[in-house]
Chains A and B, each alone.
Chain A
Amino acid sequence: MTETQTEAQPLSFEEALEKYDPVLGFEVHVELNTKSKMFSSAPNAFGDEPNTNVNEVDLGLPGTLPVVNGKAVESAIKLGLALNCSIAEYCRFARKQYFYPDLPKNWQTSQYDEPIAYDGYLDVELDDGETFRVEIERAHMEEDAGKLTHAGTSGRIQGADYSLVDYNRTGVPLIEIVTKPITGAGERAPEIARAYVTAIRDIVKGLDISDARMERGNVRCDANVSLMPKGTTDFGTRSETKNVNSTRAVEQAVHFEIRRHAGILSTGGSIIQETRHWLETSRTTSSGRPKSDADDYRYFPEPDLVPITVTQEWIERLRAELPEPPAVRRRRLREAWGYSDAEFRDVVAAGLMDQIEETVEQGASPAVARKWWMGEISRLANARDIEPAALGVEPETIVALNVLIDEGKINDKIARQVLEHHLEGEGSPAEIVQARGLEVVSDDGALTAAVEKAMAENPDVVEKVAGGKLKAIGALIGPVMKETRGQADAGKVREIVLAKLGIEG
């Protein structure tokens, strides 16, 4: 901790890229969604009372022995296959030893030189549809650590009087995915960073091996950045920005680190190998700790666990269970729905692909499904400050609404009101239309009376229409709608007016 980081004004991103080529590397931690923990039968659950989802193994009590969760191993193999990795025929766990109160054993049970999956790749899709191949070094199994809260006046570790530890998260199964150094990203480095983490998140969600909620820390990214002067191939010193927990933040952190490194290097300074913290408010990073003796973890094979062997039969059985890869599914759906690239991207960004797929499967057209989910439902969700998918609208509700529109029973405007009433718990669309008497007025008696009234009150409009200006009919629709509380069918109103004036529609 004796050396201090050279300070310099960050360069602009454009300037940085003129002078340097960025090299990236990512370590992504994925928390698995198994029922129990990696090495103990305590529940793997979020949000419970502190120190209640633990037993003697998680607390590292003397004489206790871990036993591997078989489901977690299968999840690791599935993820390895999804990342196009080789699966190790034989691998072991190892002890990674450090003293910090987040793990009461004083070591983390992890994998060291024998990861369960290695040498893979992931083709990540960029915004313009291009793909960029990220080489995967390894994916290995380990356990999560407990959660520390630093108490004291500042609320931060610096100046804290003491720390409080909750071991509920201790022992939650993790898979750490490590990339090889990523070169050739150039100015697209930040975008590639976001696309990579997004792809990992989508894959683990698709495999149903993780809840994949980044805001809860289910997927966490450590982003490594270094720069090499243009035209050279020797990697520079890297910084590692820890625990970046949104895809947007990963993009911003890489963007900032490239600028920061370039600022230091271009003024003759040198980068210190250290961890950095991402600061969401200023969109910058701050210095963490330099790499030091504490990184001497003295790994050795875990003597309390036996090795894992994976047969070809086991691999093939798990391979057969793999779902369609997210990128393949996206391509298939985009073609089937006929959306433009921009329309499809918006759907993916809104997290509504599943909902639209189900709505289409239940009989709505892709255009109608998109109109509802990306339009009214997104608007209602936005007003409530939640994700559209979290609004609780079922695809069958949208299909039912659309059937009512197609049958001419309600118009678009009424349909939107019905959806709001549905969200307020008033039942199915058909029930709401029935209970509130919202069915469009198309019985000729009531409608004709309303039209006659509107015509009598607007003789000037009637004159124009009679004179051939058919567009003027629009001025009669408003009063009719008012008379019928919005339940008139505009097409029908037009028909009646024309019939009364003896004009051929």
Chain B
Amino acid sequence: MADISRADVEHLAKLAHISMSEAELEKMTGELGVIVDSVKTVQEAAGEDIPATSHPVALTNVFREDVIGHTYTAEESLANAPDAEDGRFKVPAILDEE
């Protein structure tokens, strides 16, 4: 069984801005443990001689020329916005986190 504690799940929920009930926390602690265990099986297939990768294709240096392409109008940009004002996205005031 993977080492996922209830405190881990609470922490993750907080980071993800998801509020979870006691019952949900309990359930998710078990489920996340199972998921981590499942992913762990990859380690059995890959020996120490297989380096970790972050991309399925062994490519490097895929670059774009520095040229300007298409853009949206403000109207297009805001087409899916739940709310807008003065050509800008309107969002709830959130205390500075960055």
Count residues of chain A with CB under 8 A from any CB of chain B. 60
A102 proximal to B (CB < 8 A)? yes
Query: A302 — which chain B residues lie within 8 A by C-beta?
Result: 54
- In contact, A102 and B98 (Cβ under 8 angstroms): yes
B44 proximal to A (CB < 8 A)? no
A67 proximal to B (CB < 8 A)? yes
A504 proximal to B (CB < 8 A)? no
A288 proximal to B (CB < 8 A)? yes
Query: B86 — which chain A residues lie within 8 A by C-beta?
Result: 50, 164
Q: A149-B88, A303-B54, A309-B61 are in contact. Are A157 and B95 (CB under 8 A)?
A: yes
- In contact, B88 and A51 (Cβ under 8 angstroms): yes
Query: A71 — which chain B residues lie within 8 A by C-beta?
Result: 65-66
Query: A162 — which chain B residues lie within 8 A by C-beta?
Result: 90-93
- In contact, A51 and B72 (Cβ under 8 angstroms): yes
Which residue on A lies nearest to B78, using beta carbons?
A51
B47 proximal to A (CB < 8 A)? no
How near does chain B come to A259, taking the closest CB pair, in angstroms? 25
- In contact, A98 and B87 (Cβ under 8 angstroms): no
Interface residues of B in 10-45 (CB under 8 A from A): 11, 14-17
B2 proximal to A (CB < 8 A)? no
Which residue on B lies nearest to A145, using beta carbons?
B98
How near does chain B come to A62, taking the closest CB pair, in angstroms? 10
Interface residues of A in 287-325 (CB under 8 A from B): 288-289, 293-294, 296, 298, 300-303, 305-309
Which residue on B lies nearest to A296, using beta carbons?
B15
Interchain CA distance A303-B48 in the complex, whole Å: 22
- In contact, A52 and B73 (Cβ under 8 angstroms): yes
Q: Which of A49, A68, A306 contacts B87 (CB 8 A)?
A: A49
B49 proximal to A (CB < 8 A)? no
- In contact, A157 and B91 (Cβ under 8 angstroms): no
A472 proximal to B (CB < 8 A)? no
Binding stretch for chain B, among A19-27, A34-42, A382-390, A431-439: A34-42
How near does chain B come to A208, taking the closest CB pair, in angstroms? 13
Interchain CA distance A99-B95 in the complex, whole Å: 11
How near does chain B come to A310, taking the closest CB pair, in angstroms? 9
A92 proximal to B (CB < 8 A)? yes
Query: A98 — which chain B residues lie within 8 A by C-beta?
Result: 97-98
Query: B55 — which chain A residues lie within 8 A by C-beta?
Result: 301, 303, 305-307
Q: A36-B69, A52-B77, A306-B57 are in contact. Are A101 and B89 (CB under 8 A)?
A: yes
Interchain CA distance A34-B70 in the complex, whole Å: 16
Query: A41 — which chain B residues lie within 8 A by C-beta?
Result: 64, 67-70
Query: B88 — which chain A residues lie within 8 A by C-beta?
Result: 50-51, 149, 164-166
How near does chain B come to A42, taking the closest CB pair, in angstroms? 5
Which residue on B lies nearest to A161, using beta carbons?
B93
Query: A152 — which chain B residues lie within 8 A by C-beta?
Result: 93
Which residue on B lies nearest to A311, using beta carbons?
B61
Interchain CA distance A296-B8 in the complex, whole Å: 12
Binding stretch for chain B, among A53-61, A76-84, A134-142, A347-355: A53-61
Which residue on A lies nearest to B59, using beta carbons?
A306
Which residue on B lies nearest to A308, using beta carbons?
B61
Q: Which of A54, A72, A160, A306 contacts B62 (CB 8 A)?
A: A306
- In contact, A68 and B54 (Cβ under 8 angstroms): no
Q: Which of A160, A167, A294 contacts B97 (CB 8 A)?
A: A294
- In contact, B62 and A68 (Cβ under 8 angstroms): yes
Q: A51-B74, A70-B63, A149-B88 are in contact. Are A35 and B17 (CB under 8 A)?
A: no
Query: A43 — which chain B residues lie within 8 A by C-beta?
Result: 68, 71
- In contact, A163 and B72 (Cβ under 8 angstroms): no
Q: Which of A49, A157, A296, A307 contacts B54 (CB 8 A)?
A: A307
Query: B17 — which chain A residues lie within 8 A by C-beta?
Result: 99
Query: B70 — which chain A residues lie within 8 A by C-beta?
Result: 41, 55
How near does chain B come to A39, taking the closest CB pair, in angstroms? 8
Interchain CA distance A123-B53 in the complex, whole Å: 38
Query: B92 — which chain A residues lie within 8 A by C-beta?
Result: 162-163
Query: A42 — which chain B residues lie within 8 A by C-beta?
Result: 68-69, 71
- In contact, A70 and B69 (Cβ under 8 angstroms): no
Interface residues of A in 60-97 (CB under 8 A from B): 67-73, 90, 92, 97
Beyond A51-B89, A100-B98, A163-B92, 8 additional pairs, beta carbon < 8 A = A35-B68, A41-B67, A51-B87, A52-B77, A99-B16, A163-B90, A164-B85, A301-B54
Q: Interface residues, chain A, CB within 8 Å of chain B? A: 34-36, 40-43, 49-56, 59, 67-73, 90, 92, 97-102, 145, 149-152, 157, 160-167, 288-289, 293-294, 296, 298, 300-303, 305-309
29 pairs, CB–CB < 8 Å, chain A vs chain B: A35-B66, A36-B64, A36-B67, A41-B64, A41-B68, A41-B69, A42-B71, A49-B74, A51-B72, A52-B73, A52-B77, A53-B71, A54-B71, A69-B64, A70-B66, A101-B91, A150-B93, A157-B96, A164-B85, A164-B91, A165-B91, A166-B87, A166-B88, A293-B14, A296-B11, A298-B15, A305-B55, A305-B62, A306-B59
